[in-house]
Structures are given as C-alpha cells and as structure tokens.
Amino acid sequence: MDAKQPLHSGSLLVSSAAYGSHEIIVETPSRTRQLWDLGLPAVIELFGVYMQRINALASAPGIRYVSVFKNHGGSGGASLAHSHSQVIATGFIPPIIKEESISVRNGICRYCMVIEAERKGARLCFENRSAVAFSPYASRFNYELWIFPKRHATALSDLSRAELRDFAEILHRSLRRLKSIGVSYNYFLHCASSGSKLHFHLELAPRIAAWAGFELGSGVTINTVSPEAAAGFYRQGA
Ligand SMILES: [Zn+2]
Ligand SMILES: [Zn+2]
C-alpha cells in the first residue's frame, strides 16, 4: 500500500489507485448466535472495539475516513453467516459523509434541531438518558431507525462510558425488535471527518423490500411502512 496515491483526472473521467484497509470484527465465538441474540454487555464491548479500530486506523498515513458497518442476512449482503462487523479505512471521505457534513453551518447543527423535534413526535422509537432513536421523516427503508447521542458529539470516542452504554443500549433494544420479525439489515456509523462537525450517529436499515425499477430509475423511494408505524413497532418492545 502506498499512502500517497495521486488522483488521475482526465478531461472526462476521474480515478485513483485503491488504497486503505479492510478488517472484520468477529462479534461472538459462536457460529450460530447473531448480534441480536447477545446481551447488552457484548454490544457495549463491540462499540469499544469499534472505537479502538477507528482511532487506530484514522491516524494511519493517508487515511481520511474509517467506515464501520454491519451486514446481517442475505438481503443485507452478508456473505458470511458468522456474526461480524466490518471496518473499511479509505484514502477519501465518502460522498455521504461530505453531504451530511453540511448539516452543521454557522455553528448550528440541523441534526440537533431534528433530534429536538423528533423527541416530542410520533416517530420517536426509544430514548434514555443520553441517546435517542427515531424513524426518520421520509424513511428510505421499512423500519429505518437512526440513533443519536442527544449531546452534539462528533465521534464515538467523544462519548463518555455512560453515554456509550446508553447508545449501545438503544441499538440492543432495536435489534431485539428486528429479531422478532427475523429480517436482514445493515447498520453503519456516521462520524465527522477531519475538519467537519457532523453529529455522530448510527443508521439502521432493515432490508425487507428491494429497491427495484422505479427507485433505480427515478431516485424516488417507495416505502410501504410509514415512519410513524415503524416507531410504533419499536415502541412495542420498549
Ligand atoms: Zn448536533
Ligand atoms: Zn448519516
């Protein structure tokens, strides 16, 4: 791996050499138990490992962003049945992170504003002392859920031990609900990249309905479960 890969820009097309690293985090020694079968201490420990790997890889030469995500089940793109998460460190900031980073402008965070509004509304799924989960307005996926620390933190490592526990507790509860309907899912962490103040969060995307011709051809998503109904589903397990 060469830490300094030039970006080749022609008159029309742009490319660069591949650079980065890819790690697998094995969540349990069991071949059959899944993350949603594990207790809260195991989920808290997993977040501790995420934090360690993000911190280690973010300081490696040439790395600009560390993506942490999980694929569960066939429709979630999981290629291994053994419960695991993945960490991919890249020499570029992913476009979604750049796009979300404009949410903080002139010292004002739009996610902080959304959290304040959603805490009082019909899309609230779970809330504890320092974290909150809601089904986002105009959800893209059936039962989509986002988890935020209520305080404006920009990285997992910004959270205190108690805040990390609260955050993990909400994911644990969310996954127990998904287990009750046995669906595939993805989740991914979104942290601030260097120079950005993005409000740290996790997006949980159950993969029940496939995006098909209309979604791919129009960029418009059809979601048959309203976020208000999704939030009701999560709250039944509260
Ligand atoms: Zn914020
Ligand atoms: Zn996000």
pLDDT band at 106 (very low <50, low <70, confident <90, very high): very high
The answer, yes or no, to whether residue 78 has pLDDT greater than 80, is: yes
Structural tokens at position 7: 């970006």
Q: Tell me the H-state helices in the chain.
A: 40-58, 95-101, 110-118, 161-181, 213-218, 227-235
At the fourth CATH level, the homologous superfamily of domain 12-235 is: HIT-like (3.30.428.10)
Task: Pick the ligand that lies closest to the CA of residue 103.
Answer: 1
pLDDT (tens digit per residue) in 110-156: 999 999 999 999 999 999 999 999 999 999 999 999 999 999 999 99
CA distance 31 to 85: 14
Give me ligand 2 centre to Cα 201, in Å: 6
Residues at Cβ < 5 Å from ligand 2 ion: 100, 190
pLDDT confidence of residue 1: 43
Residues 200-207, mean pLDDT to the nearest whole number: 98
CA distance 173 to 170: 5
Surrounding residues of ion ligand 1, Cβ less than 5 A: 109, 111-112, 152, 199
Token look-up 């066939």 returns 74
Binning the chain into helix, strand and coil, the percentages to the nearest 5 are: 35, 25, 40
C-alpha 18/C-alpha 21 separation (Å) is 10
Whether 6 has a pLDDT exceeding 90, the answer reads: no
Average pLDDT, the chain: 94
Cα 51 from Cα 130, distance rounded (Å): 18
Domain edges within the chain: 12-235
Ligand 1 centroid to Cα of residue 95, in Å, is 19
pTM score of the predicted model = 0.94
pLDDT bucket at 2, cuts 50 / 70 / 90: very low
Among 141, 193, 183, 153, residue whose Cα is nearest residue 47: 153
Q: Give the C-alpha separation, 114 to 126, whole Å.
A: 15
Of the listed ligands, the closest to the CA of 100 is 2
